[in-house]
Structure 1
Amino acid sequence: MPAGNLLYAQSGGVTAVINATASAVLHTARTRKVRVLAARNGILGALGEELFDTSALTSAEIKGLAHTPGGTFGSCRLKLKSLTEDRAKYARLLDVFKAHDIRWFLYNGGNDSADTALKVSQLAAEFDYPLTCVGVPKTVDNDLAVTDCCPGFGSAAKYTAVSVRECALDVAAMAETSTKVFVYEAMGRHAGWLAAAAGLAGTGKDDAPHLILFPERVFDEADFMAKVAAIVKRVGYCVVVASEGIRTADGRFVADAGGGKDSFGHTQLGGVASHLAGRVKDVLGHKVHWALPDYLQRSARHLASKTDLEQAMAVGRAAVECALNGQNAVMPVIVRDADAPYHWHIDIAPLSRIANHEKTMPKGFIRKDGYGITTAARHYLLPLIEGEAYPPYVRDGLPNYVVPKMTLVRRRLPAWNG
């Protein structure tokens, strides 16, 4: 049995399948007879020495995590600064690792989490502490560099495409005497991957969504209004999908909620759909409805993609194997071998190529007029939403999600007040 413990932590916004990754991590580690501690609320729990002992979880509970949304151990939005600026926090982490004999650290998150894992590996090397750090990919935004796609995205993309198709049928049925324009808001601060996924809802010229607004394209209100008016005249109604991160020519977020910035330095966004709906009503006079699915996009485990689930579990297994094999400062990534039939495999990439990089939509994925997706985008996206992975249901008609009760290990260090 390898000496030492493995620490697993979740970071950032959770996904429909992040617990599937956790399930794979726990199962693989148990197979290798390695004890796993899980940080409560991500890196905050590591700093506060709030660590769950997963040894108490039953095999059934671990298996059940694979079909349960949310983040079982808790997540957080906290980006550590440089090793110099946040020296005290990094030193505290190292103290916690030493106190609990942590020899492997798996951080399950996006770009900022990859950066944190990389910095922790550098600190451990500086102090000659035997620690192997592995980043584990996760994000509904699909904006991680190197990997072909991100676990969590496929399920959110499936939810988006299905929801837009269903809403479009509703609008079409009511357009003659009621709603003429429907606006659906998709997550995506700088990358329009989820908005693009909505394009899978239709295939023909007059199929919804009729207009997609990407953050990679400048939002021109006058041009947008002209397009909406023309589509309503031709089709009878117009379905719009807008990414939350669209900007005007001066660089201002259309949906800047005025809530300042979070700990990652991100502007608080929200409300682009309601804003556009109001403007369409004022300018064109149409009756408009809008939807802000928000957390629904990333928590809809009942509509998860089978592809996404399989990839989420694959990166979890690979992360443990990487760590136990001593592959430090790396991340398991997904490599696409073919589109149709879809084939992929897991490879290993250095965190230095991933941390603080962002993958936006390729130009070739956005239609020339800027309002839709291309055939190339469709070929890329379709395999990611393929297959169903329904959770088990119980007699009350609801999914049988698992919420295990866990206990924290005994603290060995003074309380952290950072």
Structure 2
Amino acid sequence: MGAIRRIVYAQSGGMTAVINASAAGVIAEAQRRGLTLFAARYGMHGLLAGDLIAVPPLSAEQLQRLSYTPGGIFGTARRDLPDPEIDATPYDLLFQVLAHYDIDALLYNGGNGSIATVAQIDREAKRRGIPLTVIGIPKTIDNDLEGTHFSPGYPSAARYLITSFLEASLDLASFPAKGARAFVMETMGRNAGWLAAAVKAASAVLADEGPHLIVLPEMRWDKTALLAAADAAIARTGYCTVVVAEGATLDGEPLAYQGAEKRRYVQLGGAGSVIGGWLRDALGAKVHVAVPDYLQRAAAHWVSAVDHRVAWQVGETAVAWADEGTRSGVMVGVVRDPATSGWRMEAVDAATVGNRERRFPASWIAAPFQVDSAFLDYLLPLLEGCPQIPCGAHGLPDFFPFATLTERSDAP
């Protein structure tokens, strides 16, 4: 065992269907090693306010239920830290809280911005001479984290979208042709089109090889070409299916947005309705638009077994590395082992991958409005396995009750 005795874990940013699998992995490994574990309520907000929970021992059955529960069991926040040379106050508060609880290691579970925060805290702790281990645990449904084969959370969101699109497409195909029809699905994906591209996997089942059109933020296209491609699909099948990422742009501008969030980015949404309106007005199609929104990142009932297993493993690995005391300022990266077709964990410098986006590769974009089949060689292994969701009363999921882990700890 290393010198680490007390760990704090925090969840950050948007949720995934498997972020609590990472939390379960953290808890299980901390228990196995006899370490004291705290968790911050609402992520960085709790870390700065000293709002920490002393995580109680959980049984194997409780950990399994927790791992299949959506949302963030300890709460989350979107809060970036400033450059300490510009404003050191948040760091002063953070290190005061960690000292009060005698914390040796901070595990931060998040996406691009959160991994950048790992690097910032690690760098500032070293500058101040504070003995603190800081490790990032990756997660994002956007799959845009660099330094990892995939981002935990992405395969499950992709699996939900693919399945939902497949089901809706079979419904659409059940009706006789009585005029042009169209189905448009809008996925999440601000700057990276991994989620929208994933729906291409439905073509492995659909006879019509839908989706007929895929529109990604990485694509350059024009309205005339899109309408021509949609019209051609309708001529072949009687209907057209379209998947568009919320961040798709035309002439460098978002197709639609909802407004600007305070102190943060523009809230996107509405791209599907824009394209649906074009299909209705230009082609006379009867159009249905689906926006899965939160559903795609919260669908714990249909998680990828690979995603669930790896999400748990990155949590376990973060605790193990913290206890060993040999790594800090790193993210747990997921590496595909070609020899076994399994997964291994590799330390990735947080400073080199934080706040960087891995866009959907240009080599996997097939014009017009399609993705290359080579992408499926990457994607399909991530979707493998059917989940064994704990089932409760009336056939509904037996999710872990959030109230079980909400008691604040005031004393170190």
Q: Same fold (TM over 0.5)?
A: yes
Alignment partner, residue 330 of structure 1:
330
Deviations 1:289-312 (A, max 9, x none): 010000110111111100101110
Alignment partner, residue 86 of structure 1:
87
1:318 aligns with 2:320: no
Change (3 A) 1:205 1:57: closer
Distance (whole Å) between structure 1 residues aligned to residue 387 and residue 137 of structure 2: 21
Q: Percent of aligned pairs with the same residue?
A: 39
SS at match of 1:55: coil
Alignment partner, residue 289 of structure 1:
288
Whether the 8 Å contact between 2:4 and 2:322 is mirrored in structure 1 is no
TM alignment of 1:190-339, pairs within 5 A: 190-203=191-204, 206-249=208-251, 251-257=252-258, 259-261=259-261, 263=263, 265-326=264-325, 327-338=327-338
Alignment partner, residue 180 of structure 1:
181
Whether the 8 Å contact between 2:364 and 2:371 is mirrored in structure 1 is yes
TM alignment of 1:130-145, pairs within 5 A: 130-145=131-146
Deviations 1:99-127 (A, max 9, x none): 11111000000010001111111111121
What amino acid is aligned across from residue 199 of structure 2 in structure 1? Answer: A
What amino acid is aligned across from residue 126 of structure 1 in structure 2? Answer: R
What amino acid is aligned across from residue 379 of structure 1 in structure 2? Answer: D
TM-score, normalisation: structure 2: 0.95
What amino acid is aligned across from residue 141 of structure 1 in structure 2? Answer: D
Alignment partner, residue 121 of structure 2:
120
Alignment partner, residue 379 of structure 1:
377
Whether the 8 Å contact between 1:180 and 1:236 is mirrored in structure 2 is yes
Alignment partner, residue 416 of structure 1:
none
CA deviation after TM superposition for structure 1 residue 262, in Å = 5.2
What amino acid is aligned across from residue 364 of structure 1 in structure 2? Answer: S
CA RMSD of aligned residues (A): 1.8
Deviations 1:248-295 (A, max 9, x none): 11x2111222x11454x3221011111211221112111100100001
Distance (whole Å) between structure 1 residues aligned to residue 158 and residue 312 of structure 2: 18
Alignment partner, residue 72 of structure 1:
73
Deviations 1:9-34 (A, max 9, x none): 00111111000000000110111111
Change (3 A) 1:179 1:18: farther
What amino acid is aligned across from residue 24 of structure 1 in structure 2? Answer: G
Distance (whole Å) between structure 2 residues aligned to residue 342 and residue 370 of structure 1: 33
Distance (whole Å) between structure 2 residues aligned to residue 299 and residue 51 of structure 1: 25
Alignment partner, residue 409 of structure 1:
409
Greater displacement, 294-303 / 218-227: 218-227
What amino acid is aligned across from residue 375 of structure 2 in structure 1? Answer: A
Distance (whole Å) between structure 2 residues aligned to residue 144 and residue 175 of structure 1: 44
Change (3 A) 1:108 1:356: same
Greater displacement, 224-233 / 272-281: 272-281
Deviations 1:70-126 (A, max 9, x none): 100001111222122331111110111111111100000001000111111111112
Distance (whole Å) between structure 2 residues aligned to residue 175 and residue 49 of structure 1: 62
Distance (whole Å) between structure 1 residues aligned to residue 34 and residue 67 of structure 2: 20
Deviations 1:144-172 (A, max 9, x none): 00101010001011111111111100111
Distance (whole Å) between structure 2 residues aligned to residue 342 and residue 192 of structure 1: 25
SS at match of 1:36: strand
Greater displacement, 268-277 / 12-21: 268-277
TM-score, normalisation: structure 1: 0.93
Alignment partner, residue 155 of structure 1:
156
What amino acid is aligned across from residue 308 of structure 2 in structure 1? Answer: L
CA deviation after TM superposition for structure 1 residue 179, in Å = 6.7
Distance (whole Å) between structure 1 residues aligned to residue 279 and residue 399 of structure 2: 41
CA deviation after TM superposition for structure 1 residue 7, in Å = 0.6
What amino acid is aligned across from residue 257 of structure 2 in structure 1? Answer: D
Distance (whole Å) between structure 1 residues aligned to residue 90 and residue 209 of structure 2: 52
Distance (whole Å) between structure 1 residues aligned to residue 214 and residue 60 of structure 2: 44
Change (3 A) 1:224 1:175: farther
Greater displacement, 210-219 / 168-177: 168-177
CA deviation after TM superposition for structure 1 residue 58, in Å = 4.8
CA deviation after TM superposition for structure 1 residue 362, in Å = 1.1
CA deviation after TM superposition for structure 1 residue 178, in Å = 6.9
Distance (whole Å) between structure 1 residues aligned to residue 372 and residue 4 of structure 2: 52
Distance (whole Å) between structure 1 residues aligned to residue 207 and residue 374 of structure 2: 17
Greater displacement, 394-403 / 61-70: 61-70
